[in-house]
Structure 1
C-alpha cells in the first residue's frame, strides 16, 4: 500500500545506502531528464517532496523518482528531499524506487511525503551457484557470497587474499611475501592425506586452471564459495574440496559509464623478526657455552672459564678492537674498552630489505541498451616487494558482450588476457642454508656484510673504490688476511639478491562463448564453450662471483597448458499455482593438456648474457613430457518449491575421469537438500520482528580425482643399471582398482533475518566424511617396490559455522554496522590401511587428528642442574642413571629415554573474521580482522635460535641466538624454562622434537583498513563527473601472536613453523582515486 501526506520535519538520516548506486542513478536520470525534456511540450509544474523509510522514518538517500511514461526524473539528496521541475501537466503518476524497497506509484501533487516499504524479495541475495543462479532464501545448499563492494579498495594482487576472515569455514594460508604469489585455500578443513586439498575454481561458469593472480581484482563482481554437496555435487569428481566461483563484471542497464581507478602505495615487512641477543650478550653466551664444554671435559669451573676466555675466538671471528684473549674476562664479561669494529655492518636482515612500492591502475567502460550490454577493462599492476629483487608486474584486459538478438535467442562472449612477470623467486628450500632468508635470520652479529680491516674496522674497497662483499671464502687484500667464514661460506645474499636472475613470465588467455535458446513450454537450451591457454617460462641463473668459486649455470623451464570445456544444458521452468519446478539436464566435457620442457647449461662465458649460447656445457639432461587429462560428465538437477515456503532439491552427476582405469573410471555423485521457511507458517503470524527464519539440510557425495599423477593407475618404469648394463626396472606397480576419493557431506543450518534486515545470520553444522583416501601401502619386498597407492583411508572434518551481521546504529549523519563469523573445526582419522607412522612432528593414527603432534614430553628445567626434564619411558624407570626427582615427580634428563605422546593439534579450534564499517557524512571507514584460537604451532625457527651448535645447523655455527637465551639456567636454584647452555650435551638440553618448541598459534590480525571520502554531487557537478572517491587503505596492518617472529597463518593446518626460511607477508599502504564519468 502506498502512503503520502504533507511534509513533516525529520531528524533521522538513513545511513545504510550505496553511494556508488546513488551516483550512477543520479547521472542516468539527469541525462534522461535532459533528453526527456526535449520530448515533452505543453504546460509544466514543479513537484517537491521527501522519501522516508517505513521502518524508522529516516530519509532515504538516492531513491529514484520518475515521472511515469517519461524519462523525466531525479534522485533524493542527503536529506531525502527531491525536486522535479517541468513535470508535464498531463502527468498523473510518479514511480518511486530504491534498492531493497518496494517500488511505489503515487499521484502527482505539488508537495509529497512518500513512505517506502521494505521488499524482502529484493533484500534476498541472488547468488551464483553451479550452472546458474539462485535466491539465497530458496537455496538448500551451503554457499557464501562476497560481493565486489566487500572487496573494496584492498591493495591485493590476488583476490583470494580478500577471503581472509570474510567467509565462515574458509581459511586462507598465505603463501609468502613474494609479490604475485598464490595463497592456499581450504574449505572446511583438510579432506585428503595423499591427494590435493585445493578447491575447484570456476570462472564465469567454466573450470579455471590458470593462476588466480592472473585475474585483475578490479574486474571481479563477486566470489561465491560452495561448501557442501548440495551446492557443489554438479561438479562431480572435482568438487570434494569445495568450489570457489568467480564472476566478473558485466554492463549495466544504464548509459555509457567510464570508471578510472588508480592507487599508489608502499610495501614493507609486516612481521618483526625474532628477538635476538646483541653482540656483547652473544659473545658472553658463547663464552659460557665453551666454558661448559671444558667443564664437561673435567676441567674446574675456574680453569674452564680461563680457557674459554683465551680460546673463544678460535671459533669466532673477533669483531673487537682488542686482542682475542682480551675480549672477555674469566667470568665471560665483555671488556668495557672493546669497541665493535663493524657495528654498522651486521644488520643482514635490513641489508636484503627495502621500502617497496605498489602501483595499480584500471580503466573500464560499460553500458547497455535494451538488448545488449557490454563491459571492457584494462588494468596494470606493478608491485615491488620489501625484499630486494622481488617484483611482480601484470597487464590485464577483459571484455564481454551479451546480446538478446531475438526474443528467443541470446548470445554472448567473455574474454580475458594477462601478461605477467615475476622477478626474484627466492630459494626458499626449507633447511637449505643458502636460502637467503635462512642465512640472514641465523647469522651471528660477529659477521660483517662487507670486508673490513680486522685491526681498524675500516671498509676494504676494490680498485674502483667500491665496497667488497664478504662471501666468507677467505681473502688476502693489500696485506690484510681475512679468514674463511665458518658460517655458510660462499654466500652473501646482500649482493646476490641485487643481481638475482630468477623469475618467470606468464601469458594467459581465456575465452568463453555461449548461446541461450528459449524453447516453447518453459524450456531453454544453453550451449557454452571455453578455451584457456597458459604459457609459462621460468629462468634461473647461478650468477658468477669470483669469490664463490663457481662457473655459472642457467636453467630454463617452459610449460604450455591448454584447456577446453564444452557443455550443453537443457533447463525447464514451470509455475503451477503455488508450485515452482526447475529442472536441469546436461552434458559437459573437459580436456586438459600440459607440455613441459626444461634444460640447464653451465660454464658461463660472459657476464650479463642469460641465454644458453653463453654457456659451454650441458648441466643436466634436457627433460620433456606431456600430461593429458579429460573428464566427461552427465548431470541433472531438480529444484521444487511450494509457495516459496517449502523447498526440495536434488542433483546427480555421472563422471568419467581419464586418471583411472576404464573399469574404475566412472562414478556417481549426488545430493539431496530441503528447506523450510518457518516464518511463512500460520503459527508465525503476528511475530513481526522476524523477516526470515529458514531451516535447511542436505546430504550428498562429491569426488576428488586430483590424486597426484595424471596416470596414477598405470605401472611405470625407470632407467637403471646392472653390472654396467643399462635397462629398465619397475618403480610403480599397476593398480587398476585405483579411483577418486569421495567426500560424504551432511549439512544442517538455521538462517534468519530480523527487524527488516537489521540483524541477520546463520548457524550451521557440517560433517565432511572423506573416504577412499589415497595412502602409500607397504608391499612385500618380493614385489621389488616398497609401496603402492591404494584407496583405503577415511577421515572426517566436523564443525559449526556461525555468521552474524548487524546494523548497530543509524543516526542523521552516522551509521555503524558489523559482521562476525566463526568456525569450530574438529578433524579425525577414522580408518588407516597401514600401521601408525610418523610424519615430521605428527603421528598418523586412527582416532587422532591428521595434524596432531607426536613429541617428547618436555617438562621444564631441573633447578639443581639446569638439565632438561622429560617424562620417562616406563621401561627405564628404576634402571636409568638419568632419572631425577623434582618436586616429588620422577623425570629423565636423557632425550633418548623421553616418552613420546600426543601433544595437541595444529588445527585451530576456532577461526573466523570480524568486520565493521562506519559512515559519517561522506566519510566511511572499514576494518577487517582475522583471528584463530586453540591450535598449536611447532616453532622450528625458534628452536634453532635457542640451540647453539646443534648438529642440524652445524654449518651455521656460530649462528645467532634468541634473546630468551639470556634467561638460561646458570647456577643451582635458578628457576627458568631455558636449560644451561652446552654444545656437548645439546641433544639432551635442547630437547629436539619435544613439546618445548610448541607454542600457541592464537593470533589476531588486522587484515585491512579502508578510509574513503565520497565527494558531494554539488562539488563535482561542474566537472561533468558522476562520482569521485578518494581513499586510503592498508592490508596486513598488524598481528598479535604469542611470540614475535611467528606467523601462524602461513601453515594453518600443519602448524610446522618454518618462518626462518621463508619470505614472510608484506604490509601494504596505498592512497587511491576512483572516478566515474
Structure 2
C-alpha cells in the first residue's frame, strides 16, 4: 500500500512539474547596449522556432507572454543577436553587444555621416575587408561587382591603367560621365593609383540627388566617398601585411592558327582561290600559288620560307596540304655566314610570368584627447611584358586632437613616390609597329622573332644584344615580311624607354568649434599636388627612328588643387521625438594644371635619355597652363520624428569657370523622405529588423567639359613666312551653360531574422536636359563647329542588392551576397539642326557605325546586315532595301556589292542585367571567399575577330588568321556562313552586324583562403592576431568568344591591341601586435 501511495505521489509531482512547465509566463525587462548602457529602442524579440514575438519600446523596455520553456532571440540592427532561455523567469534584462560589421553600415555622406536607418537617399558601403581582397594599385577596382549600379570598363590591363566608372548609366553624350571622388570629406583630383588601398577604411557610393546635391555640379554623375583609416579607442596597434605573388596573362588569345604548316596551307588556299576566281585553271592556280606563297609580298607572298623542301618538290601538294617531306626550319648561306630560319611563338616571347610584392605597415593609437594613424607602403609590381613594371612608396599620417572641450583639430597628410615603366608607348594602336600587344597577336606563326646563326643560336650584335628579325632583309637578304615591316616590337620594349616618375602630396586639415550647445562650425581645407615626369626614347640602332639617330622626348606635368569649406551646423532634439538638423556651407575649389614637353633627335648614346644627350631640336616643344574654378553656397535641412519618419532637403548654388560669366551660376536642389515602418507601435513582426520605404528627387548640373568652350580660341603658328601668326582653333559659344540632371529614386531597405537577411530594392529615373552638342558648320567659315545646349536623354532602371547569412553557429558562418542592375537608356530630344535623316521612325544622325536618334538608346549600332553567303559563288551577301518610284521602302533583297548595302538599326551595348555575387565561409579559424562579376545582354563590335577573318591583301598579308576560316565556303562546303577565302577580297570582313557579338560575360573575379591562428597560440608571442592567406584575382573569364573582352568600353567597341587583364596569385601574412 505504501508503494502505491508513493507511486501516486511521484506521479502527481511529475504531472505538476509538467503542468508548470507548460504554463505561459509574462517576461519583462529592458534591453541595453553593453558598451554604453543606453537602452536599445525597437529591438526585435522573437520566440525561437516561430514567427511570433514583439519588440522593445523607445526606452528599450519590453513585456511578452511566452511559454516558460521558450527560447527568446533578441536582435537589433548594429548588434549581435542573443538567444536566452526563459526557464520560467519573469524578468530578463539583456545587454546586446555591438556588431562591428553591422556598425560599419554607418554611411559617410556629403559633409557628415548618417545611418542606414535614417538615410533618405541611395548609397552603398564597401568595407576595408572587401577592399583588401582585391590586389590592385587602384582602390576603385574593388567596387566592381560589389555595388549595384556601378559599371566599370578597362581599356588596358597595363600597370597604372585606371578603370572608367559609370553609376546608373550614361548621363551625357559630350560631357563627362565620371563620378566625383571625395577623400576624407574633400574633393580629390589626383590619380587613384596614388592612394594606398591598405589605408582605406571604407568607400561609400552615393547614387541619387538626395545624396549628391550638396556637391552641386561635380556630383552629377554620382559620388564615391573614400574614408581613410583612423585609430580606434584603446592601446596602440601595429599591423603588418606582406604579400608575394605572380602576375600572368588572364585573357586567352583568339583561337587563331598557331601551327606554321597549317598557316602556310591556309594562305596558299587564299592565293589559289583568287587565281581560280580570276580565270586560271586549277593546275595553273596551283603553280602560281606555290610560286608566290613564300615569295614577293607584292604578289601576295609571305616573304618567308621557314621549311626545308627536298629539291625538285613542291611545298604544297595538289591537295592543298604541305609536302609531307618538308621539315621545319631552313638553312640559308650568304658568303661565309649561315643563318637558320625558324618560326617562333610570338606570344610566348612577348608575355612572361612576373613578380608582385607588396608590404604595408601601420601604427595607430589613441589617448584621452587624441588619436593618430600612420602607415607606410611599398609596392613592386612587374608587368606581364618586358619593359613594364611599377614601383610605389606611400606614407600617411592622420591625427586629431581635442584641444578644448569646444575645439577639435586634425590633419591628414599622404605622400606617394612612384615610377612606372611602360615600354609599350603605342598601346591601343593596332597599326603601330611599336605596340607589342598588337604585334604579338597579329603576326603570323611562320615568322622568326630572332636572327639565328647556322648552329641555331640567337646571334648577338656589337652591344651584346640579341639580334631581332625586323623583316626588312637587312640581316638576311631577301627575307622581307609585308606585315609590320621594318619593326620588331619585342626588341623595342627592351631598348626603347617609356617611363614616368613623380610625386604626389595630398593633405587635409580641419578645425571644429562647438558653441551654444547645439551649434558647430567646421573649417576644412584640402590641398593636393601631383607631379609627373615622363621620358620616351626611340633607339638609334634599330627600327624606323634609326635613320634619324634615335629620338628622346621629355614631358613634365603638374596638377595642383585647393579646396576650402566653411560649414555651420545646428542640431537639436525636442521632446525626445523631434530631431532637427540644419547645415549652411560655402565651398570653393581651384584646379591648376601645367604641362611642358620637348624632344630631340640624333642621340649621342642610347643610354643617355636626357635632352642634352641629343643635338637636333624638334618643333614639337610646347608648354601650357590651365585652370578651373568652382564655387558654391549650400544649405541642408533634416528632420526626423520618433526615429521613424525622416525628411531631408538641400539647395546649392554653384558657379563654374567653364561657362561665360553671364551663365556661370546654376541652382540645384533635392528633397527626400523615408519611413521606418518597423518602428511603428502597431507593427508587430518580430522577425523584421528593418523595413524602410524611401524616395528622393532632385536636380544637379554637369560642367564636366573642356575649358574655354564659351570663347573663341586661337593657336600661335610660325607657318607664316613673315613671322608669328595666329590660327583660328575653335569657335566659342558664350551661351553654353550647365547640363541639368533631374534624378528620382524610390526604394525599400529591409532586414529580417536578426540580421540574417538584408537588402535594398530601388527604382531610379534620371533625365538629362540641355545636353551639350557639337554642331558642324561649312568649312568656308574657317572652323569646324561649336557647342550648344540642346538635347534631352533619360536613364531608368531597377537595382537589387541582397546580403544573407545562411548559417551562423559558434564555429561556422556562411554568408552570401548578390546584386543586379537593369536599366534602359533613351534619347528623348535632339536639336533640329543635327537631325538629317529618319531611320525606322527615329529622327537623328549617323555617327560612324552608330545612329544617334530620338527614341533610341545612345550608341545604337547602325550598319549593314549580313545576309550570309551565296551558296553558288561563296561571295558575302548583305541586305539592301528595295524602294518604289517615290522612294518608299517596299521590301529588301540581298546583294554581293557592299557599297549598295543598306545600313540598318541594330541593338545597342547596354546590358540587360549586370552585377556580381559571392559567398564566404568561416570555420575553425579558416576563411574562404569567392566573388564573381557578370553582365548579360547588350552587343559589342568584335574588331579583333573581324581583323582575323579578313582576306589577306597589302600589308595585311602575314597577319594571324582565325581558325573559323578553316570552315569557309568551298565547293565541298557550300552551306557555310563564312564567305570564300581568297586573296584580295576587300569586303569579306567588311563592317556589318556579322561581327556584332553578344557582350555577356562571367568573370571569376577573386578567391581567397586564409587561416587565423588561435589566440592561445599567438598570445605566447605577444601577437594579438596572426593570419596567413592565399588570394587570386581574375581567375577565369568566360565570354561569347575566346579572346573577346567586352569590358573595353561602354560604347560597345573592343580593341585587341591592348594589354590583357592580369591574373595575380599571391600568398600573404597579416600580423597585428
TM-score bucket (shorter structure): 0.7 to 0.9
Aligned position for 2:442: 442
2:1051 to 1051, 1054, 1057: 1054
Give the deviation of 1:292 after TM superposition.
Answer: 1.7
What is the alpha-carbon distance in structure 1 between the residues aligned to residue 151 and residue 761 of structure 2?
18
What is the alpha-carbon distance in structure 2 between the residues aligned to residue 516 and residue 576 of structure 1?
24
Provide the TM-score with structure 2 as the length reference: 0.86
CA 1:120–1:813 in structure 2 vs 1: closer, same or farther (change >3 Å)?
closer
Question: Contact 2:77/2:102 (CA < 8 Å) preserved in 1?
Answer: no
Aligned position for 1:484: 480
Aligned position for 1:572: 570
CA 1:102–1:525 in structure 2 vs 1: closer, same or farther (change >3 Å)?
farther
What is the alpha-carbon distance in structure 2 between the residues aligned to residue 422 and residue 722 of structure 1?
37
What is the alpha-carbon distance in structure 1 between the residues aligned to residue 48 and residue 492 of structure 2?
65
1:1023 to 1018, 1021, 1046: 1021
1:301-348 Cα distance to aligned partner (Å, 9 max, x none): 332223212332221211110169721023321001111217974211
Give the deviation of 1:729 after TM superposition.
Answer: 3.8
2:234 to 254, 263, 270: 254
Question: Contact 1:382/1:393 (CA < 8 Å) preserved in 2?
Answer: yes
Aligned position for 1:512: 508
1:404 to 402, 411, 415: 402
Aligned position for 2:271: 290
CA 1:303–1:1033 in structure 2 vs 1: closer, same or farther (change >3 Å)?
same
1:739-794 Cα distance to aligned partner (Å, 9 max, x none): 12221111111111111111111111111111221111123556432310111122
Aligned position for 2:334: none
Question: Contact 1:433/1:956 (CA < 8 Å) preserved in 2?
Answer: no
CA 1:122–1:871 in structure 2 vs 1: closer, same or farther (change >3 Å)?
closer
Aligned position for 2:645: 646
What is the alpha-carbon distance in structure 2 between the residues aligned to residue 722 and residue 810 of structure 1?
76
CA 1:553–1:464 in structure 2 vs 1: closer, same or farther (change >3 Å)?
closer
What is the alpha-carbon distance in structure 2 between the residues aligned to residue 572 and residue 332 of structure 1?
86
Aligned position for 1:984: 984
1:141 to 86, 101, 121: 121
Structure 2 gap ranges (5+):
1-33, 36-44, 50-74, 86-90, 296-300, 331-340, 836-843
Question: Contact 1:424/1:500 (CA < 8 Å) preserved in 2?
Answer: no
1:15-38 Cα distance to aligned partner (Å, 9 max, x none): xxxxxxx9xx9xxxxxxxxxxxxx
CA 1:737–1:230 in structure 2 vs 1: closer, same or farther (change >3 Å)?
same
Counterpart secondary structure, 2:759:
strand
Give the deviation of 1:467 after TM superposition.
Answer: 4.4
CA 1:704–1:499 in structure 2 vs 1: closer, same or farther (change >3 Å)?
same
Aligned position for 1:502: 498
What is the alpha-carbon distance in structure 1 between the residues aligned to residue 83 and residue 533 of structure 2?
59
The residue correspondences of 1:954-965 to structure 2 (distance < 5 A) are: 954-965=954-965
The residue correspondences of 1:118-267 to structure 2 (distance < 5 A) are: 123=102, 125-267=105-247
1:907 matched to 2:910: yes
Question: Contact 2:46/2:686 (CA < 8 Å) preserved in 1?
Answer: no
Give the deviation of 1:691 after TM superposition.
Answer: 1.3
What is the alpha-carbon distance in structure 2 between the residues aligned to residue 702 and residue 604 of structure 1?
53
CA 1:506–1:797 in structure 2 vs 1: closer, same or farther (change >3 Å)?
farther
1:398-425 Cα distance to aligned partner (Å, 9 max, x none): 1111111211111111110100110015
Moved more, 926-935 or 720-729: 720-729
Counterpart secondary structure, 2:596:
strand
CA 1:955–1:985 in structure 2 vs 1: closer, same or farther (change >3 Å)?
closer
The residue correspondences of 1:353-364 to structure 2 (distance < 5 A) are: 353-364=351-362
Aligned position for 1:940: 943
What is the alpha-carbon distance in structure 2 between the residues aligned to residue 935 and residue 279 of structure 1?
36
Give the deviation of 1:116 after TM superposition.
Answer: 5.2
Give the deviation of 1:728 after TM superposition.
Answer: 2.5
Counterpart secondary structure, 2:494:
coil
Question: Contact 1:819/1:915 (CA < 8 Å) preserved in 2?
Answer: yes
The residue correspondences of 1:39-50 to structure 2 (distance < 5 A) are: none
1:270 to 234, 250, 258: 250
1:534 matched to 2:530: yes
Aligned position for 1:712: 709
What is the alpha-carbon distance in structure 1 between the residues aligned to residue 462 and residue 589 of structure 2?
63
1:585 matched to 2:604: no
Corresponding pairs, count: 964
Aligned position for 1:45: none
CA 1:55–1:432 in structure 2 vs 1: closer, same or farther (change >3 Å)?
farther
2:850 to 836, 842, 848: 842
What is the alpha-carbon distance in structure 1 between the residues aligned to residue 876 and residue 964 of structure 2?
16
What is the alpha-carbon distance in structure 1 between the residues aligned to residue 652 and residue 321 of structure 2?
75
1:244-278 Cα distance to aligned partner (Å, 9 max, x none): 11000011101010001100000000001111112
Question: Contact 1:855/1:901 (CA < 8 Å) preserved in 2?
Answer: yes
Give the deviation of 1:431 after TM superposition.
Answer: 3.3
Give the deviation of 1:357 after TM superposition.
Answer: 0.9
Aligned position for 2:431: 432
Give the deviation of 1:1010 after TM superposition.
Answer: 1.0
Question: Contact 1:866/1:969 (CA < 8 Å) preserved in 2?
Answer: yes
1:460-498 Cα distance to aligned partner (Å, 9 max, x none): 55568864211122135xxx6342222212211222212
CA 1:994–1:877 in structure 2 vs 1: closer, same or farther (change >3 Å)?
farther
Aligned position for 1:1070: 1066
1:919 matched to 2:922: yes
What is the alpha-carbon distance in structure 1 between the residues aligned to residue 757 and residue 82 of structure 2?
23
Question: Contact 1:318/1:324 (CA < 8 Å) preserved in 2?
Answer: no
CA 1:778–1:605 in structure 2 vs 1: closer, same or farther (change >3 Å)?
same
Aligned position for 1:318: 305
Question: Contact 1:864/1:972 (CA < 8 Å) preserved in 2?
Answer: no
Question: Contact 2:120/2:696 (CA < 8 Å) preserved in 1?
Answer: yes
Question: Contact 2:879/2:892 (CA < 8 Å) preserved in 1?
Answer: no
Question: Contact 1:581/1:638 (CA < 8 Å) preserved in 2?
Answer: yes
What is the alpha-carbon distance in structure 1 between the residues aligned to residue 133 and residue 581 of structure 2?
38
What is the alpha-carbon distance in structure 2 between the residues aligned to residue 955 and residue 312 of structure 1?
15
What is the alpha-carbon distance in structure 1 between the residues aligned to residue 346 and residue 113 of structure 2?
54
Counterpart secondary structure, 1:287:
helix
Give the deviation of 1:610 after TM superposition.
Answer: 0.4
1:862 to 856, 863, 870: 870
Question: Contact 2:882/2:892 (CA < 8 Å) preserved in 1?
Answer: no
Provide the TM-score with structure 1 as the length reference: 0.86
Aligned position for 2:726: 728
Aligned position for 1:788: 786
Give the deviation of 1:1057 after TM superposition.
Answer: 1.1
What is the alpha-carbon distance in structure 1 between the residues aligned to residue 1043 and residue 100 of structure 2?
49
Question: Contact 1:865/1:972 (CA < 8 Å) preserved in 2?
Answer: no
Counterpart secondary structure, 1:138:
coil
Aligned position for 2:599: 600
What is the alpha-carbon distance in structure 2 between the residues aligned to residue 695 and residue 200 of structure 1?
27
Question: Contact 1:442/1:959 (CA < 8 Å) preserved in 2?
Answer: yes
Give the deviation of 1:300 after TM superposition.
Answer: 2.2
Question: Contact 2:951/2:985 (CA < 8 Å) preserved in 1?
Answer: no
1:941-988 Cα distance to aligned partner (Å, 9 max, x none): 1111111325xxx4232211011111111116522221111233331x
Question: Contact 2:708/2:732 (CA < 8 Å) preserved in 1?
Answer: no
CA 1:195–1:464 in structure 2 vs 1: closer, same or farther (change >3 Å)?
closer
What is the alpha-carbon distance in structure 2 between the residues aligned to residue 845 and residue 113 of structure 1?
68
What is the alpha-carbon distance in structure 2 between the residues aligned to residue 690 and residue 467 of structure 1?
71
What is the alpha-carbon distance in structure 2 between the residues aligned to residue 537 and residue 947 of structure 1?
41
What is the alpha-carbon distance in structure 1 between the residues aligned to residue 543 and residue 565 of structure 2?
60
1:898 matched to 2:898: no
What is the alpha-carbon distance in structure 1 between the residues aligned to residue 909 and residue 290 of structure 2?
44
What is the alpha-carbon distance in structure 2 between the residues aligned to residue 443 and residue 97 of structure 1?
63
Question: Contact 1:306/1:329 (CA < 8 Å) preserved in 2?
Answer: no
Question: Contact 1:914/1:929 (CA < 8 Å) preserved in 2?
Answer: yes
1:126-173 Cα distance to aligned partner (Å, 9 max, x none): 110000000111111111110111213321111111111010000121
The residue correspondences of 1:19-38 to structure 2 (distance < 5 A) are: none
Aligned position for 2:668: 669
CA 1:781–1:955 in structure 2 vs 1: closer, same or farther (change >3 Å)?
closer
What is the alpha-carbon distance in structure 2 between the residues aligned to residue 827 and residue 638 of structure 1?
33
RMSD, matched Cα: 2.8
Question: Contact 1:195/1:706 (CA < 8 Å) preserved in 2?
Answer: yes
